Amino acid sequence: MKEVFNFSAGPAVLPKEVFESSAAAVKNFKDTGLSILEMSHRSQEIMPVMDEAMALVTELLNLPENYKVLFLQGGASTQFLMVPYNLLDSQAKAAYIETGTWSKKAIKEAKLFGNVEVLASSAESTFSYIPKVTDIPGDASYLHITSNNTIYGTQYHNFPETSVPMVADMSSDIFSRTFDVSKFGLIYAGAQKNMGPAGITLAIVREDMLGKVKREIPTMLNYQTHIDKVSMFNTPPVFSLFVAKETLKWLKNKGGVAAIQKINEAKANRLYEEIDSNPLYKGAAVKEDRSFMNVPFVMTKEGLDAEFLQFALERGLSGLKGHRSIGGFRASIYNAMPEEGVTALIDCMREFAKLKG
């Protein structure tokens, strides 16, 4: 069977080793004769899966002791409301920076719970850049950013400097690069881009962020509930948790976050170099804010998009269609995308340019 490289923005590429260990767990988990799909989350075989996953997050991100790791359900979209529900009092203010579709959705949810000040937006340029913000109100409960924007291919390479606690949606670049966790009061990330399959969401909460709002918080939406119950308040998505744990273990065996960052930067730089040097293609994001995870580009000649997508698919390159808001193409090159996949895409782009350029 021909090898296929998955450039989808999410659910995204996963390591082959993870598929193998996960498939084995589905058939017979730890020689119990049972599938992991049918086992109790409180069994002596499954409880260590949660413990190991939390320990791997702590180790890979070098978390200080005052941070709690949570595995939740509902995706990052539920975090859009959980964050203000837990952190923003009705008479208080939160600051947001609007850099794309997902930050826009987060802003909409936050406005249900308190005052929201949008400090800057790049909407006028179809979110092609990250606004530089220095005047951050000191009375804000928190500053919310989206660290990487999957649709528009922009990424924070330098986080804002502020005395206000930062909250970050890191769904599409978590574990892809090193950063100082202590700059953040809360981090959340859907798993299906860089950490595992859909169905589980990571939240990392600094303990002093909680317990400050006066409102009653529904039990299931209260971070403290899940801290107290070690992410076992209700039945977690056990299989998604296991795959995430296996993916984190794979990352550790690759040398950890610092090692994968070098690989990610090399992959992205090679692809951007082709886009910039080949007259048939043009990048969508400004160069200084380009993402190392999601690379959107367009044709400089009209009417070739459908043909290129088919051309690429015939060469085993899947998931390259760009988001409808900007069109063109998008190559998502997350941690598990091998360097061979980027090479295959570059070769395809060059071959197509010779035919149509």
Task: Let me know whether 159 and 63 are in one domain.
Answer: yes
Residue-number span of the structural domain to which 327 is assigned = 256-356
> Per the domain annotation, does 12 fall within a domain?
no
What is the pLDDT, as a whole number, of residue 357? Answer: 72
List 169, 173, 245, 321, catalytic entry: 169
Task: Let me know whether 88 and 108 are in one domain.
Answer: yes
What is the pLDDT, as a whole number, of residue 325? Answer: 85
Catalytic residue flag (residue 289): no
Q: 95 and 137 in contact (C-beta within 8 Å)?
A: yes
User: What's the number of domains the chain is made of?
Assistant: 2
**Which of 253, 283, 314 lies at the terminal end of a domain, its last residue?**
253
Task: Let me know whether 225 and 286 are in one domain.
Answer: no
- pLDDT tens digits, 327-357: 999 999 999 999 999 999 999 999 999 998 7
Task: Let me know whether 198 and 212 are in one domain.
Answer: yes
Averaged confidence pLDDT in the chain: 97
Alpha-carbon span 170 to 181, nearest angstrom: 12
Tell me the pLDDT band of 1, cut-offs 50, 70 and 90: low
- pLDDT tens digits, 197-244: 999 999 999 999 999 999 999 999 999 999 999 999 999 999 999 999
List 68, 173, 193, 321, catalytic entry: 193
Task: Let me know whether 212 and 146 are in one domain.
Answer: yes
> Per the domain annotation, does 237 fall within a domain?
yes
Q: What is the CATH number of the domain that holds 262?
A: 3.90.1150.10
Catalytic residue flag (residue 102): yes
What is the pLDDT, as a whole number, of residue 231? Answer: 97
Task: Let me know whether 209 and 87 are in one domain.
Answer: yes
> Per the domain annotation, does 66 fall within a domain?
yes
Confirm whether pTM is higher than 0.85.
yes
Percent of the chain with pLDDT over 70: 100
Task: Let me know whether 248 and 265 are in one domain.
Answer: no
Catalytic residue flag (residue 193): yes
Query: Which is more confidently placed, 75 or 356?
Result: 75
List 2, 27, 89, 102, catalytic entry: 102
Q: By C-alpha distance, which of 92, 232, 234, 107 is closest to 169?
A: 107
Task: Let me know whether 273 and 217 are in one domain.
Answer: no
What is the pLDDT, as a whole number, of residue 2? Answer: 77
**Which of 253, 270, 287 lies at the terminal end of a domain, its last residue?**
253
- pLDDT tens digits, 286-334: 999 999 999 999 999 999 999 999 999 999 999 999 998 889 999 999 9
Dihedral sign (CA 331, 337, 339, 345): negative
Whether pLDDT at 136 is above 80:
yes
